[in-house]
A and B are shown apart, each in its own frame.
Chain A
């Protein structure tokens, strides 16, 4: 299994519903409904503050379709849990056989100054390998999502963006808030791999329904559609994500299932030993 590919899936598991806030700060789904007085910062802050549970267990299927229409399918099972100063995520590949046993572990620290720690277990090596967490704008697992996008799950580090509220739009019977985010510096744009994005946020649940990206040359890059969103155990959860890369014509569809926010996850699930042992 390729390194970058694994990173992507691991982060995807952080995926639907994940956020960089202490989940104990539960907030209502409609945090600030007075849209008329909102600016871009407030809207994105509401998205960032959405509660996504203390822990979650989920399986997900990834369908990767190339420009010829050939589709590869991979399946994984992931666990995510918040701690005081960090979020821990572990992913185990379950299918197909040629990647089964591959596992990924990440410690995502809330302290922005502290770099995340990541490990990868490759069955072919039988060894847990330390990997770098610094390549946030890279595409992983052959998907069309970057490490950063999957890790943030539609959330944004507001210190890195200029925001602009572009107004409300009607799409499929819903009122969505259209917000433009522009990385503040050329360096950030290069790191993230795009020059700007426009996100369409549903103010009823504070989740993006659609995100459009432009590359560093200003050309259309890709579109992410959160095609299925539903409430599970009281938490709004994206259960299907579709991504179309307009440059490569490659697409990614991720479907989440067996989502469980209630069952406790033992702490030793997030260890290098568990990566070697695999799912029990």
Chain B
């Protein structure tokens, strides 16, 4: 917690004279699923900022009260998070989290941002090829906004211009990875698909070892950069390199007598990629491609002599937005992920393809917004259909009603949750 003590000193050094500001949002959400009222929670997210002549301090917190505790039953330990990034689990129903905590500002031509923050790269919506700096929280699978799912990390970010290019370098000493709901606690959105959870013989006792972070802050930190530019003919180009630990654990078996212990470890990878986007009349073209080394793929443990295979991965997204109809936003994306050195004992397909479709329309001077969204796996046919209608009742009050429906093969990423269809209502008040 050293950073929390040091920052105020920095504030005094750089942010005086300063303007202080307190803001926040209160969100109340209720979810009804087949089993009845399955989620009832209140989130208070206050923020405090201090803006000086040269630097700004910004911090945001979240206090969550869960009256019904089915998403993360019991008190969680967050083994995938570093000590500095863990949420404060006060009891089964109450948690506190420092969402963001940073100082940013200019020193000559360099823009520095130091502290707990989000770094977002790439051009795709909801599909991750280059947007891999921050891990995700799958507490509600992918049903909430990306901003809410992304886990901020303690990061040093430095930006500067080099001719017509902008360079952002990041150093991420924070060893925090994806937060996956724990199947053993009966969490609603715990993964059960064999694509992610290996099968083990029924006569064996299976233990799941907690993932372990190395604790070597310097040696095991992530580093990378993004170069971006805007060309004369209207293209936004980005080039990304990131040397990092992939955020999902690699599973392996450790067998002794009739006990099987499943070990979880995180593995390093080099990612290099490029993104490009442009406006072509009423259409926006968005694309990104990434090549990752040393990606580990789960095998079918019943038939394979090894627990995983290692191969490079090539992934890409092509997206098209259409804005040619008044008050309507249409968007489609195709995402493909290819294993370059495939082996038949890998549980997934060599090339996995998903598509997303989004239709959004506003009414009544944009006080009402209706959205329909679909994401589907081409390989398995399973998917997720979402509908929501949102009403801005006043400047500070927004009401939302929506429904989420999973469909398709139980073994698919989306089909595994097809018993978790739900409708939800939320109220958002800002101050």
Residue positions of A touching B, CB distance < 8 A: 2-5, 64, 66, 70, 72-74, 96-98, 100, 115, 117-118, 123-127, 130-135, 137-139, 141-144, 248, 250, 268, 271-273, 277, 280
Contacts and interface: CB of A to CB of B under 8 A. Distances in A.
User: Which of B236, B277, B365 is the most central at the interface, judged by chain A CB atoms within 10 Å of its CB?
Assistant: B365
B284 A132 contact: yes
Contacts of A127: 120, 122-123
Contacts of A272: 166, 228, 230, 236
Given A4-B366, A73-B395, A268 B323 contact: no
Contacts of B394: 70, 72
13 contacts: A3-B323, A5-B366, A70-B394, A73-B395, A97-B430, A115-B279, A117-B279, A125-B120, A130-B277, A132-B284, A142-B365, A272-B166, A280-B105
A126 B279 contact: no
A270 to B, nearest CB: 11
A70 B305 CA distance: 68
A139 B363 CA distance: 11
Chain B interface size, as a band, is 35 or more
Given A2-B362, A2-B369, A70-B394, 6 more contacts: A98-B398, A125-B147, A130-B277, A132-B283, A250-B365, A268-B161
Given A98-B25, A124-B146, A248-B365, A138 B326 contact: yes
A142 B364 CA distance: 8
A126 B395 contact: no
Contact of B159 (A124, A134, A135, A273): A273
Contacts of A250: 365
B392 interface: yes
B162 interface: no
B145 interface: yes
B244 interface: no
B278 interface: yes
Given A3-B329, A125-B125, A135 B282 contact: yes
Contacts of B279: 115, 117-118, 130-134
A139 to B, nearest CB: 7
Contact of A130 (B282, B286, B364, B430): B286
Contacts of A143: 365
B281 interface: yes
Cβ-closest 3 pairs across A and B: A97-B430, A142-B366, A142-B365
B396 A126 contact: no
Contacts of A130: 123, 236, 277-279, 284, 286
Interface in B316-373: 321, 323-324, 326-327, 329, 362, 364-367, 369
Nearest to B150: A126
Contacts of A118: 279
Given A73-B395, A142-B367, A132 B282 contact: yes
Nearest to B431: A97
Contacts of A100: 23
Interface string B83-104: 0000000000000000000001
User: Which of A66, A126, A141 is the most central at the interface, judged by chain B CB atoms within 10 Å of its CB?
Assistant: A126
Contacts of B23: 97, 100
Contact of A134 (B104, B286, B324, B327): B324
A73 B277 CA distance: 33
A272 B236 CA distance: 10
